[in-house]
Amino acid sequence: MQNKGLVRVFAILFGLVCVYQLSYTYLTYTKEKEAETYAQQKYPESVEDYSKLREVAEGAYLDSIGKEEIFAGITYNDAKDKELNKGLDLKGGINVILQISVKDILEGLANNSKDPAFNQALLAADEVQKNSQNNYIEDFFTEFEKIPDAKLASPDIFANKNLSDDITYEMTNDVVKPILRRKIDESVTSAFEVLRKRIDKFGVTQPNIQRLGESGRILVELPGAKDVTRVKALLQSTAQLEFWDVYKAEEIFPFLFSANNAIKERLDKVKEVNSETDEVTEIVTDSTQVDSLKSDADSVVDDLLEDAEDSTAVETQVNPIFDLMAQQGGQGGPVILSVEKKNADQMMAYLNDPEVRALLPQELRYVKFAWGKPVKDSEIIDLYAIKGNRDNNPELSGGVITDARQEYNQVGKVTVTMQMDGKGAKKWEEMTGRAFSQRSQIAIVLDDIVYSAPGVTTGAIGGGRSEITGDFSIEEGQDLANVLRAGKLPASADIIQDEIVGPSLGQEAIDSGAMSFAIALVLILIWMIFYYGKAGAFADVALVVNILFIFGVLAGLKAVLTLPGIAGIVLTIGMSVDANVLIFERIREELAKGKSQADAIKDGFNNALSSILDANITTGLTGLILLTIGTGPIKGFATTLLIGILTSLFTAIFVTRLFIDGYGKNGKELAFSTGMTKNLFKNVNIDFLKKRKIAYVISGVIILAGVGSLFTNNLDYGVDFVGGRTYTVRFAKDVVPTTVENDLVAVFGSAQAKTLSTNNQLKITTKYKVNETGAAVDTEISNKLFEALKPYLTDGLTYDQFANGDEDKQVGIMSSMKVGPTIADDIKQAAFWSVLGSLIVVFLYILFRFRKWQFSLGAVAAVFHDVLVVLGVFSLTWKFMPFNMEIDQAFIAAILTVIGYSLNDTVVVFDRIREFFKEHTTWPLDKNVNGALNSTLSRTLNTSLTTLLVLVAIFIFAAPLRGFMFSLIIGVLVGTYSSLFIATPIMHDTVSKVGLKEKTKKEEE
């Protein structure tokens, strides 16, 4: 090896850099353990709510030491910023994909146009989007073009005063389209920046936010975040802050009397019709007439109470509106009345009924009714009457806010103060002056909820400074100030996919991942020494260096370590042994030829290099595809796999060589085997090609059985592919999944409950309201889940304890995931193209390396065979296996890894076949192929065995990854088989014996 000194220096320096990068993680860990110990001592378990108090105490402790020097000028804050990032599945937290509504943006750009063509195209685009892979804007354009004479640059659509600088009436649709695309991109970018500012102030360390292509989707990852409801509200709030004048209670009360009498009169008519119907029933024999009369009566009630929850209760009311009223508003105040929360929808349905609103006097015709912010732990909410206008635009909106902060008022209550810009300050002074002179109030409305409606007692307020009061907690005040300061979203943001992992489940994942990592490493180290003796020990040292490099690079790149990422590292350890095995086997061959140790080592490394590079490049190509299409944990798996491939190549080719050369430079003999393994596979002479027809039959039977099962038994598709919500719920005692499932079906209509890892933990999946988004729907479903599971939960467990998580949480929702049907369809498409793309890329690479399409055909046929076998096994066994075997993104990662591994094996065999053709030009084709297969058999079985040891260790100790590992175990077994009995025989059967020999002779010339 040339430039040994340079390689040695580089390896040492690179190792020191990795140690330096990982030192931040160590320093962070030590300080956080100190904080944990401090909190435990301060709040023992005997204290009520000790878990939450400990969390606050830990945060306070770390804040207090954040800027103190720990070592060599490094503070805790510095170390925290540079530590190795842990993903959600290891640290707990929240991962969401938000869909910014392009429809909202288009409506805003068109000034909420009422143009029939515009709105028809929007409705059609909504429908098409359910099964479309296009962006919303492209489907909108397509549907708009279908409307005769429809013009985007119409004055009633986009050629309006707001877009007059960009769009003019004479522009064609093709000219307007790129302008609208640019405007939408600007709006999504604005939404991205608003969300980034909100998240930066949220207090989560190492957040990740990124745009996903041009679809208007934004990925947000918040490791360590625990309050699910708070995070979702923060992300989805549009922050539509508005300032409105309000009516006083006495100005609205005459209308309430009129409305009450009108509704009462209508209900009395309903009762009269029902009474007459009952009398007619006694003498009318035609049941159809009776049904018709009752239907007419019922339709009156249905029209009136379309949004009401309990129509039976309504029919018994004497005064419909006043019977619902819990409290009347005070004279001169802005609160009209108060009702119980359960009656809010019914009250609003009454007040907004068209016939009732027709009773409003001329001066009140634009009134808007809005509810106030609910008071914590109260079932009563207040109703306000806002002075609306024809255009429904407030005099002052939140766009004028330049700063907002959470503070305390004179009596110690949490408030939010705001500062406005010059234009806003002027308008605010005008509004407050008017309110002062009229002794009226100004409502501060955020997202259609009245937070407060203060009066003005000291005259017009200048300077643009104002205050929002309400029954805020400190966190609510901080979040509101954060949202106002960051600005409003330009359109609604719906969570179309989310994944929530509780902190205790994350800690369990770390423990299981570390255990599997340690077991796998020990097994590999022992095996290498057992099989190769001292040379194996040198390979072990290189392996440990390789692990240091992997973690150091991850920390330096600020990549995220996930549980599949740990699996990727452990798998890399198993596969990285392959390079050393290839080298050592070639050295043993050279020694068997009688070469000196120095020459054998030199030639062994040189001869193995081609196979090592080919095998790792093919695996790396599948890793790149995974990195491109994957998200979250899958991207973490691909990242560690790719880093591991690069570091493994360096340590196997250079670091191992340094140790071996250094040992033998003084003439010391180095045996590349032990007494037990010296003659293993030495004189093996198996006629693989003779057995190929039997292999074809066996493979054919397995594939046919699998394909038949795919059509009849199907696969267990996860929510990634079909959409829905899934929850990992843990119970204090073992539960029977079928019994729980029956209770869930009664609540949700459709649900599945399957045991996950242990008998006291279930994976619950439902498609209930899968098409609906928003925090309210998520809360509704988790509430229903809580109520349905109450009989199986610990007595006294509250909903908050069930849904949200403490550090030591052991019962309740441990993790959850939601995938909307649109994004599920996208994931399916991406999975299909990733597998197909990997096959095409592999075919082209092998064609490039071996220059004959028969080699490519053999390799791709073997890979296709392996994929079908793995799918067939999953289809045949998923109903009775005692672990999760869902087909999800992790499974696709496994399939692509199987493709890479299978190719790794196949390429090594093909490389040796090519070598044999060059060395043994007079041998017949069968002898060359069989000879190559036998000469690589030791390497093939050795690598497969070490990889299987690793996978089995992960399978046993990392319960959440059992389905993932099972697919890889099947893949390694079938991949080893296919490289021997499928890939090579197919190549043999499709190549011309004469043509190959002629090609070989030409290459030699």
Which pLDDT score, from 0 to 100, does residue 1002 have? 46
Q: What's the average model confidence in pLDDT over 483-496?
A: 70
Please state, for a pLDDT cut of 90, what percent of the chain lies above it: 7
Inter-CA distances, 697 with 304, 598, 693, 934, 978, Å: 71, 47, 6, 22, 13
Residue 40, pLDDT > 70, answer yes
Residue 179, pLDDT > 50, answer yes
pLDDT tens digit string along 808-817?
667 888 877 7
Cα gap 235→95, rounded to integer Å: 11
Cα gap 617→640, rounded to integer Å: 15
Q: How confident is the model at residue 238 (pLDDT cuts 50, 70, 90)?
A: low
Which of 120-124, 600-604, 688-692, 895-899 shows the lowest per-residue confidence on average (mean pLDDT)?
Answer: 895-899
Cα gap 618→901, rounded to integer Å: 8
Which of 662-666, 726-730, 796-800 shows the lowest per-residue confidence on average (mean pLDDT)?
Answer: 662-666
Residue 501, pLDDT > 90, answer no
Which pLDDT score, from 0 to 100, does residue 508 have? 66
Contacts (Cβ under 8 Å, ≥6 apart) of 28: 76, 79, 80, 83
Which pLDDT score, from 0 to 100, does residue 488 have? 63
Strands 93-100 and 74-75: unpaired
> Do 469 and 417 touch, CB atoms closer than 8 A?
no
Q: How confident is the model at residue 90 (pLDDT cuts 50, 70, 90)?
A: confident
> Do 638 and 646 touch, CB atoms closer than 8 A?
no
Q: How confident is the model at residue 645 (pLDDT cuts 50, 70, 90)?
A: confident
Contacts (Cβ under 8 Å, ≥6 apart) of 706: 868, 869, 871, 872, 873, 875, 876
Nearest residue to 962 (alpha-carbon basis) of 799, 758, 780, 665:
758
Q: What's the average model confidence in pLDDT over 729-747?
A: 85
Residue 916 burial (CB < 10 Å; 0-12/13-18/19+)?
buried
Strands 560-561 and 85-86: parallel
Q: What's the average model confidence in pLDDT over 390-405?
A: 79
The H or E element containing residue 363 is none
Main-chain phi, psi angles of 217, to 5 degrees: -100, 145
Which pLDDT score, from 0 to 100, does residue 271 have? 65
Residue 903, pLDDT > 90, answer no
Which pLDDT score, from 0 to 100, does residue 876 have? 92
The H or E element containing residue 824 is helix 821-850
pLDDT tens digit string along 250-300?
889 899 999 999 888 887 776 666 665 555 444 444 444 444 434 444 444
Which pLDDT score, from 0 to 100, does residue 698 have? 93
Residue count of the chain, please give it.
Answer: 1005
Cα gap 954→565, rounded to integer Å: 12
The structure tokens listed for 121 are 């195209």
The structure tokens listed for 164 are 């007059």
Cα gap 909→552, rounded to integer Å: 34
Q: What's the average model confidence in pLDDT over 918-926?
A: 83
Nearest residue to 198 (alpha-carbon basis) of 171, 152, 236:
236
Ramachandran area for residue 208 (φ above 0: left; ψ -120 to 50: alpha; else beta): beta
> Do 762 and 729 touch, CB atoms closer than 8 A?
yes
The residue that leads in pLDDT, 608 or 622, is 608
Q: What's the average model confidence in pLDDT over 379-388?
A: 90
Which pLDDT score, from 0 to 100, does residue 283 have? 44
Which pLDDT score, from 0 to 100, does residue 703 have? 93
Ramachandran area for residue 92 (φ above 0: left; ψ -120 to 50: alpha; else beta): left
What is residue 786's three-state secondary structure?
helix
Question: DSSP states of 242-308 as a string?
Answer: EEEEB--HHHHHHHHHHHHHHHHHHHHHHHHHHHHHHHHHHH---HHHHHHHHHHHHHHHHHHTTT-
Residue 2, pLDDT > 80, answer no
The H or E element containing residue 983 is none
Which pLDDT score, from 0 to 100, does residue 486 have? 59
> Do 867 and 899 touch, CB atoms closer than 8 A?
yes
Which pLDDT score, from 0 to 100, does residue 1005 have? 43
> Do 522 and 957 touch, CB atoms closer than 8 A?
no
pLDDT tens digit string along 409-421?
777 788 888 888 8
Beta bridge mates, 381: 339
Residue 304, pLDDT > 90, answer no
Q: What's the average model confidence in pLDDT over 310-336?
A: 74
How does the average pLDDT of the chain come out, rounded?
Answer: 80
Contacts (Cβ under 8 Å, ≥6 apart) of 462: 425, 429
Cα gap 248→438, rounded to integer Å: 11
Question: DSSP states of 126-182 as a string?
Answer: HHHHTT--S-HHHHHHHHHHTSTT--TT-TTTTSSGGGTTT--TT--HHHHHHHHHH
The H or E element containing residue 683 is none
pLDDT tens digit string along 686-703?
888 888 889 999 999 999
Cα gap 277→101, rounded to integer Å: 49
Which pLDDT score, from 0 to 100, does residue 701 have? 94
Q: Both ends of the chain: CA-CA distance in Å?
A: 29
Which of 61-65, 369-373, 473-477 shows the lowest per-residue confidence on average (mean pLDDT)?
Answer: 473-477
Nearest residue to 135 (alpha-carbon basis) of 220, 221, 235, 212:
212
Inter-CA distances, 607 with 358, 428, 593, Å: 91, 81, 14
Cα gap 35→28, rounded to integer Å: 11
Q: Which residues of 640-677 are buried (b: 16+ CB within 10 A; e: fewer)?
A: bbbbbbebbbbbbbbbbbbbbbeeeeeeeebebbbeeb
Residue 549, pLDDT > 90, answer yes
Which pLDDT score, from 0 to 100, does residue 878 have? 85
Cα gap 728→765, rounded to integer Å: 9
Which of 183-192, 438-447, 548-557, 835-844 shows the lowest per-residue confidence on average (mean pLDDT)?
Answer: 835-844
Q: What is the largest CA-CA distance in the chain?
A: 119
Q: What's the average model confidence in pLDDT over 923-933?
A: 86
Alpha helices (H) in 593-632, listed in sequence order: 597-629
The structure tokens listed for 687 are 């006629």
Which amino acid belongs to residue 833? W
Which pLDDT score, from 0 to 100, does residue 970 have? 92
Which pLDDT score, from 0 to 100, does residue 204 have? 59
pLDDT tens digit string along 136-169?
888 899 999 898 888 888 888 888 887 888 888 8
Residue 531 burial (CB < 10 Å; 0-12/13-18/19+)?
buried
Residue 993, pLDDT > 80, answer no
Please state, for a pLDDT cut of 70, what percent of the chain lies above it: 85
Rounding to the nearest 10 degrees, give the CA dihedral for residues 397, 403, 408, 410. -70
Q: Which residues of 787-822 are buried (b: 16+ CB within 10 A; e: fewer)?
A: ebbeebbeeeeeeebbbbbbbebebbbbbbbbbbbb
The structure tokens listed for 287 are 């049941």
Position of tokens 């279930």? 762
Residue 428, pLDDT > 50, answer yes
Q: How confident is the model at residue 571 (pLDDT cuts 50, 70, 90)?
A: low
Which pLDDT score, from 0 to 100, does residue 988 have? 85
pTM more than 0.95: no
Residue 273 burial (CB < 10 Å; 0-12/13-18/19+)?
middle
Residue 529 burial (CB < 10 Å; 0-12/13-18/19+)?
middle
Residue 227, pLDDT > 50, answer yes
